[in-house]
Structure formats: structure tokens, C-alpha cells
Amino acid sequence: QLQFVESGGGLVQPGGSLRLSCAASGFTLDRYAIGWFRQAPGKGREGVSCISQSGKPKYVDSVKGRFTLFRDNAKNTVYLQIDSLKPEDTAVYYCAGDRNPFPDYCTLDPRNRRYDFWGQGTQVTVSS
């Protein structure tokens, strides 16, 4: 089955850190831009970060300076390092792949129809 598998979520205190992983299963992700999205209870899905095929990351303003996205194509995995966690970061985090034709392009829009292979998500809960 072709999909991404997210892991690394958990319960952390405000100010803590987590590293989320997005591993490709059944295919290689080097030709995909990868997006990370989150969905909090009662809210829509929000794009938080994405990384192009060439490795250029993009972040939504609310996470700039706290989230770092990088890819390790040799491990067929993309990592989202989350620091200085806030309660408002609580959500289920998902990743997906966009096989777009532009090596330097990625989008934070979860409605992008090219995003595929959505995983089951990993829960991040920030609470004291």
C-alpha cells in the first residue's frame, strides 16, 4: 500500500520539543514535495510547513522560528522538528506528497489536489 506513515507525536509540556517523522511506504519520496498539515478539534485542516523536492522549506507565520522541516531522501523520510511548543499547537499532524513538476515549489494549501498518500496522522498534545 502506498502511503505516508507519520510518527513521533505525544504529550509534551509547553515549551517542549518533538520531532515528527513522515516515512514513505511503498515508494520513494525524492520526487515529491512534502507538506505537513494539522487539524485541531473542531477546526479545518491547516498547512503548517512544506518542503520542495529541492529541499526548500516554507512555513506558516504562526510556526516560523519554532518549526524546522527537512528531508532525508536516503532514509525516505521527512522530519518536522517542533520546538517551543504551545498549547495551540495541539492537533493531529498529517503529511502528504505532491508530485508537482517544479523542483523548488511546494504549497501549504491542503486543498491542493495533487497532495496524495495521506497518512493516518500523529497526535500532538501540548499541556501542562
Matching residue, cell 504549497: 107
Which residues fall within 8 angstroms of residue 28, CB to CB, at 6 or more apart? Answer: 73, 76
Residue 12 in this model has a pLDDT that exceeds 80: yes
Distances (CA, A) of 96 to 57, 60, 73, 87, 109: 14, 16, 15, 24, 11
Cell, residue 123? 497526535
Over the range 81-106, which residues count as b (16 or more CB within 10 Å of their CB) and which as e? Answer: ebeebeeebbbbbbbbbbebeeeeeb
What local confidence, expressed as pLDDT, does residue 1 receive? Answer: 76
Pairwise pLDDT comparison (99 vs 1), residue with the higher score = 99
Distance of alpha carbon 53 from alpha carbon 93, whole angstroms: 21
Residue 125 in this model has a pLDDT that exceeds 90: yes
What local confidence, expressed as pLDDT, does residue 33 receive? Answer: 96
DSSP letter assigned to residue 73? G
Q: How confident is the model at residue 2 (pLDDT cuts 50, 70, 90)?
A: confident
Across all residues in the chain, what is the average pLDDT?
95
pLDDT per residue as tens digits for the range 63-115:
999 999 999 989 999 999 999 999 999 999 999 999 988 999 999 999 999 99
